[in-house]
Chains A and B, each alone.
Chain A
Amino acid sequence: MSKARTKARYSRFTTVAGFLGPFLVLLVVFRLIPIAEVALTSLQQFNLLRPDDRVFIGADNFVRLASDHRFLKSMRVSATFVVGMLVLQIPLALALALALRGSQRGIRRIRTIVFSPVTMSIVVVTAIWRLLLDPANGIFNGVLERLGFEGLDFITSTSQALPSLMLMIIWYQVGFTMILFVAGLQAIPTVYSEAAAVDGAGPWQRFRFVTLPLLSRTTVFVVVIITIFSFQQFAPAYVMTRGGPSDSTLFVVYYLYQQAFSFLDPGYASAIAVVFLATVLGVSLLQRRVLSEGDA
């Protein structure tokens, strides 16, 4: 009896192990162990080329971060970028979604076109925009001059470089954000708007007091995901600006990469990674809490 039960248990174990084992092994090796290890390496000092030669230095890396003005600058750049994306991209995406939410063929086709940059890689987008933004021969200045304005410096200017990258990323991502809003809008039953219209509410009132509150789940998700995406920005700095001019586009992930793979200081880079991770988790948690409370 008990032998049979043991056998049954054993066969159940092999079934579960057979189905879940491969997934779990890779998840442990390439996600869970690295998550634990980054906390450890942030307390160590070593050269990337000699990873076995590590010295435990306690919180020294974090103390160094606190007075590293390039790190502080990189946090400011990333924060500015995140805020810019939230303030500029979300209203634009919502406006596009409201205008293009219908299911007529022409509208669906425009939605497809607005979405299409999303399928390109960030490297392709950055490479293309490097040419579009070129001060001497770029299309942007071509259009500006055509309209009788003077050309701009774009990425060669400390004040225009980050806004130029914001413009680029909005162009790249807004189709994705729009699709999220379209899906959210389509999930709202039209009876509420209709009832409000019968009661005499105008288009703006219907949007503000009916649609927007009912859309809040989507909005929270969009805010959180745009924040994370924007914090993660790396390729535009690597491909187009190398963080310049004079660190004006020094995204925090690019600074992390620089410390690890250019200056070969992975311990210090890990400390940056830990702060980066804590910031992303903290901010998105806060956003979920504050924004979900708002609509209760």
Chain B
Amino acid sequence: MAGLKRIRRRKAEQPPMRLSAPVPGYLRVALGIAVALVFIAPLWWVVAASFKPQFAIFRDASPVTAATFLPFDATLDNYREVFGRLGMGRALINSTIVAVSQVILTLVLCSTGAYAFSRLRFPGQRVLFVIILGTLLVPFESILIPMYLMASRLGLGDMLPAVFLPEIASAFGLFLLRQAFDDVPRELDDAALVDGASHFRVFFDVLLPNIKPALATLSVITFLWSWNGFLWPLVIIQRPELQLIQVALAQTVVPGELPNWGAILGGATIATVPVLILFLLLQRYIVQGSAGSAMKG
């Protein structure tokens, strides 16, 4: 059985390149490496240069040589400034608190809500679902001001929950998990219901274990969104000790002034390394999520 599956898969994977590749092999390899360099060289430079003192960053930048991408004269001065004077350690902790809370609460709210749409019947269900999906069409920026007024009205201004509470009722998440629930055969929960299990039991013991991949996808994407969010935390958090990492990093760049190279390079590195590691470990789920969003569009 498994052997047959493997054969079939190999067969399905092979043909496309044969057909549409009028370019000779060695040229394609060279092009591939060039493309990869365009995307990886800037990141490589950022990390390497973040360990250099300012004079060495400038000396190695122009003209570009191998030294541009290698941290000779290595020093931790930039990181001392980033964690010391600029207090970005605190910002990293705040961003972690916000992102983790947001992931957990999004999972709870979206999975329970999706269960209601997938397994329960109630009046107005279809209209409500269309309204929820409709909110996806409204760019967040267009309701920035009433959101700000609402958060202040509720007394959330200048508190970390103000950053994630408005985001956790995610229409995208509800939609994703509803699809996943719909794919689980109903016989499974019908059997449990007949045996006298409550809806909560069915939800928790029968359905949730069956949609783990979708839950993983939603977790990873929510974490990325939360960690990388900028405009909302910028307007809703003012106290410096509650600042998130993206806002803290944005403040190291002051338009019209000469940039503080060490702070930008060190700050960009520490703001990116956690998500880059997450991405490399869990890229399956991220790519699945973004490709999935296309199929449903």
Contacts and interface: CB of A to CB of B under 8 A. Distances in A.
Interface string B267-284: 110011001101110010
Nearest to B16: A190
B295 A183 contact: yes
Interface stretch (A57-65, A80-88, A239-247): A239-247
A183 B295 CA distance: 8
Interface string A174-191: 011001101111010010
B103 interface: no
Nearest to B279: A119
Given A38-B145, A194-B15, A277 B139 contact: yes
A4 interface: no
A241 B295 contact: no
Contact of B145 (A98, A176, A187, A260): A260
A19 B279 contact: no
Of A37, A110, A131, most B-chain CB atoms within 10 Å: A131
Interface stretch (B73-81, B82-90, B183-191, B226-234): B226-234
Contact of A110 (B32, B224, B295): B32
B40 interface: yes
A96 B35 contact: yes
Interface string B97-136: 0000000000011101101110010100000100110010
A114 B7 CA distance: 30
Nearest to B150: A34
B3 interface: no
Contacts of A154: none
A171 interface: yes
B62 A121 contact: no
Contact of B113 (A23, A29, A120, A266): A23
Interface in B125-171: 128, 131-132, 135, 137-150, 152, 154, 165-169, 171
Nearest to A155: B255
Contacts of B171: 27, 31
B61 A253 contact: no
B250 interface: yes
A145 interface: yes
Given A20-B116, A281-B137, A121 B122 contact: no
A19 B115 contact: yes
A19 B144 contact: no
Interface in A128-163: 128-132, 134, 137-139, 141-143, 145-146
A179 B62 contact: no
Interface in A3-40: 12-13, 15-16, 18-20, 22-27, 29-35, 37-38
State the main secondary structure of chain A at its contact with B. helix
B144 A179 contact: no
Given A27-B135, A127-B252, A280-B139, A106 B145 contact: no
B172 interface: no
A120 B275 contact: yes
B120 A38 contact: no
A34 B146 contact: yes
B120 A190 contact: no
B39 interface: yes
B140 to A, nearest CB: 8
Interface string B1-34: 0000000000001011101111000001101100
A231 B280 CA distance: 30
A134 to B, nearest CB: 7
B110 A23 contact: yes
Of B28, B141, B234, B272, most A-chain CB atoms within 10 Å: B141
Interface of A: 12-13, 15-16, 18-20, 22-27, 29-35, 37-38, 41, 51, 96, 98-104, 106-107, 109-110, 112-124, 126-132, 134, 137-139, 141-143, 145-146, 171, 175-176, 179-180, 182-185, 187, 190, 193-194, 197, 203, 206-207, 211, 218, 221-222, 224-225, 228, 231-232, 234-235, 238-242, 244, 253, 256-257, 260-261, 266, 269-270, 273-274, 276-277, 280-281, 284
List the 8 closest pairs (A to B, CB-CB), nearest first.
A142-B62, A121-B228, A23-B113, A34-B146, A183-B291, A26-B169, A30-B166, A37-B146
Given A13-B122, A26-B168, 17 more contacts: A19-B120, A19-B203, A26-B165, A31-B138, A31-B171, A35-B138, A100-B32, A101-B16, A103-B13, A106-B29, A116-B276, A119-B279, A134-B259, A143-B64, A241-B255, A256-B141, A277-B138
9 contacts: A19-B115, A35-B135, A99-B32, A120-B275, A127-B249, A129-B42, A142-B62, A228-B139, A253-B141
